[in-house]
Amino acid sequence: MDTAGRQRYGATALHGFARSILVSAGMEPAGSGSVADALIQADCRGAASHGLIRLPFLVKRLVDGGANPRPVFRVVGEAPATAVVDADAALGPVAAEYAMRLASAKATDAGIGAVTVRNSDFIGTCAHSAMIALEAGHLGMTWTNGHPGMAPWGGRANALGNNPLAWAIPGGSGAPVVLDIAMSVVAGGKVRHASKTGKAIPEGWVVDAAGNDTTRPEDFPEGGALLAMGHKGYGLAVIGEILGGALAGAAMLGGVSQWFTATDRPTGNGHFHLAIDPDRFIGRDDFNARMDHLRETIRQTPRRPGIEAIVLPGEGAAAREKAARADGVALPREVAADLEELSMRFDVEMPTVMAN
């Protein structure tokens, strides 16, 4: 256990544990692997709010019937560069991986692939599926809608999801450029993570039911709302609702169930996936050279006092992931305790805590 009261586990052991728990809850092995990949990647890259803290909720969705443990995906509309997928109430990471692999295959053939998904579920980090496009050397983008948890610009009540977006772009000789952002000031998962670990939140993240600023994360589920990342974040959330909801033919706005409370009901939300093959535009080698030039030019910008380095989006996460996979993933005691409960419930051996 480290000085912050966290317990460190091997990433591979945690992945195997999560996968075994999901299979015990009824999932088929391939789908369980997709979900485990998304959860462990999130913890490794520093997005703990979307990591293993979510596993008990996902298990509850499977057990209670809100998510389909063995979905059959249907392509209900298709053209050379596009497709529409019905996810059959699959967990979001499973549906997102299927859709991005389809989009990337279309990009290989047509230069670009755009795939919408309907009848899906909570997606986790958008970066997980966006980064799948990198395997083929493609640029990848994932955008999803979700249950209303954010107030519109000027509002005080939840009206639309924070509708996160991720881009993953080959980085030339360096780490991929990966941007994964919610359209609220902070993702709702970070507020729930603060509540789970007993921490206050900064003012400006959430308003309470009366529309007042609050530092209590508990005010969010008690009628509060996430605040938009300014009028720009609000505008982007509306675009995400259009692409992930209206264009996809998925549930929209209040029609999307809350994934971690209404665990017996499908969420029905949707997402939009885009893959781009740089070979069809400027050529992969030229693109990579330009990415190297972009990276080095930005790095050489004169820095403000106290700033050690200027980095591109995703470089810090890549470094954290490399370290976590080598040295172990640090989980808060509260999260480890939840995993231990799942271990006993499903008779799956809990991973061993690593020595400091």
55 and 96 together in one domain:
no
288 and 323 together in one domain:
no
Torsion of CA 58, 16, 72, 137, to 10 degrees: 110
Number of domains in the chain: 2
Neighbours of 347 (CB within 10 A): 8
Q: At 106, which amino acid appears?
A: K
131 and 22 together in one domain:
no
Query: Domain for residue 129, yes or no?
Result: yes
pTM: 0.93
Q: What is the pLDDT of residue 3?
A: 45
Query: Domain for residue 310, yes or no?
Result: no
Query: The domain containing residue 4 runs over which residues?
Result: 1-64+317-356
**What is the C-alpha to C-alpha distance for residues 121 and 144, in angstroms, rounded to an integer?**
10
Q: What is the pLDDT of residue 224?
A: 87
47 and 138 together in one domain:
no
The DSSP code sequence of 223-247 is: T-EEPBSHHHHHHHHHHHHIIIIIT
| C-beta of residue 203 within 8 angstroms of C-beta of residue 60 | no
What 8-state DSSP symbol labels residue 303?
P
Could you say which residues of the chain have pLDDT below 50? 3
176 and 264 together in one domain:
yes
Q: At 275, which amino acid appears?
A: A
Neighbours of 212 (CB within 10 A): 12
Query: Domain for residue 223, yes or no?
Result: no
